[in-house]
Structure 1
Amino acid sequence: MRFGAYQFKPTLVPTLAMIVMIALTLFLANWQLNRADQKSALQARYDLMQRDPAVTLPVRGGDGTNLLYQKVALHGHFDFSRQIYIDNKLYQGRAGYYVIAPFRDDFSGSYVLVNRGWLGAGNRAIPPHAEQAPGEVRIEGIVTNPISRFLELSTATVQGQVWENLHFKHYTATLPYAVQPILIQQINDTRDGLVRVWDRPDAGAAMNMGYAVQWFAIATAILIIYLVLNVKRISA
């Protein structure tokens, strides 16, 4: 193909490589855009659900998707004997734990897991200990999905009460009672000294958008390089 004094004459292998690389970068760019859209949609649902007053848990919550981000009120007691600590959770740059404990809700008669809040890490040689709220207590919290928020990254995740990550099925299998498939992020103060500042559902959406722009830029650069390398001046 000629353009005046220049000729575009690509070869097969570089052309195939260009097509594969551009297809890959466009796929990754669109994946990042979809992740940003998903997070924005979750934030919109969260904002909508927070306008409603706290409700009681149903006796049977199904798979929990219908309750996602619903504000709920619980009344009952914690099972502190089975409380665990999820390690390596940061708050304002400081390492600590999320404190997870089963809670029996008197309203629904069922057990749920409650993320009580963040506890700062002290001397690692001393096991963590969160203050307990003995007896009956009222809890307000936000329903979240424990399976999507916590991923088990290795097989060696448990050291006594300290877990690397919360593997929902693994943990609930150790309990002598059934647990609804949800995780409650506690938001009210029960005078236990724990920090309850939770990430927004759309946290990281701007970063996803930034990555998408980078992948689109890489795709454009690949195309430009391919054209430059395959357009040659015709010798007189």
Structure 2
Amino acid sequence: MQYSQHATPHRSSRVAQAFRPGLAPTLVVLALLPVLLGLGCWQLSRAAEKRTLLTAAETQRQQDPISAAELERLPPRSYVRVRLQGQLDAEHTVLLDNRTRDGRAGVEVLQPFYDRAGHQWLLINRGWTAWPDRRVPPRIDTPDHDLLLDAWTYLPPPATPTAPVAGWPRLVTQVDAPALWDQLGRQGLPLEIRLEPGDAALDTDWPIVAMPPERHVGYAVQWFALAFALTGLYLYLGIRRARETSNHDRHDSA
């Protein structure tokens, strides 16, 4: 028992002599290491959220489409498949600006659509089209006959109230279906309806998430790598400083 009581202080003393990081590096590590680890864990949680969102969206989009009348009775949500029959309103075209595909500038084309079966107006997003020359309006061909369309709902981010823009086609930077129906004096659903490939569809390669889960995982690896490097540097400096101090003490004693 006496041996164990004296061994612990002796062992602690040897550890202290072998590792002397200093106060400033210790404070830096204590401040930065939790931040780096927290950011890495946050990126992993974001990756898990994106996977859940992608799975839910794919599950919804594999369901059988419902009618506009059934859609009207549901609470607004994204990724509900719908089947519509009616006609597009080419006179009130909305161009959603600042949309790029494969490095090319363009717009998304939205037009009111009247569903005859449900007697309901909906805002249809036909997809993306290139707009290389901003001096010339993009050429948009709109079918003038009845269409049978398959599409799915999308809830855009809340729009910031802005002053109405005169003239058509109307160039906007955000989708605001309720404001459009108010301006047109129509009763319509407060949703954006995105077309699936088919009649009247343009480029409908819709991204479900802006950043895929794999990129979040990559960012998490970077944060954890920084945390590992910081810890390694802290240990290296602590051991090196302890050795330098020990050599200096031996030199002084000699």
Instruction: Name the TM tier (shorter chain).
Output: 0.7 to 0.9
SS of structure 2 residue aligned to 1:8? coil
**Structure with the larger strand share:** 1
- The answer to whether residue 189 in structure 2 is matched with residue 180 in structure 1 is yes
1:48 counterpart = 2:68: no
SS in 2 for 1:184: strand
* Range 197-206 or range 33-42, more displaced: 197-206
Q: TM-score, normalised by structure 2?
A: 0.74
1:6 and 2:18 matched: yes
Check 1:7–1:37 CA distance in 2 against 1; reply closer, same or farther (3 A cut). closer
From 124, 127, 132, the equivalent of 1:114 is: 124
Q: Name the SS of the counterpart of 2:19 in structure 1.
A: strand
Counterpart mapping for 1:12-91 below 5 A: 13-57=24-68, 58=70, 60-65=72-77, 68-91=78-101
What is the distance in 2 between the residues matched to 1:103 and 1:216?
A: 50
Q: Is the 8 A contact 1:115 1:185 kept in 2?
A: yes
Count of residues in correspondence between the two structures: 228
Aligned equivalents of 1:62 and 1:23: distance in 2? 44
Contact 2:21-2:234 at 8 Å conserved across structures? no
AA in 2 matched with 1:177? R
Amino acid aligned to 1:190 = D
- Which runs of no fewer than 5 residues in structure 1 stay unpaired? none
TM-score, normalised on structure 1?
A: 0.79
State the alpha-carbon separation in 2 of the partners of residues 170 and 141 from structure 1. Answer: 22
Amino acid aligned to 2:101: Y
Q: Quote the offset at 1:4 in angstroms.
A: 7.5
Post-superposition offset of 1:63: 4.2
1:219-234 matches, within 5 Å, as 219-231=227-239, 232-233=241-242, 234=245
Q: Unaligned 5+ residue runs, structure 2?
A: 1-11
* Deviation digits for residues 74-118 of structure 1 (CA, Å, limit 9, x no counterpart): 122333333211223223332211111222333433333221011
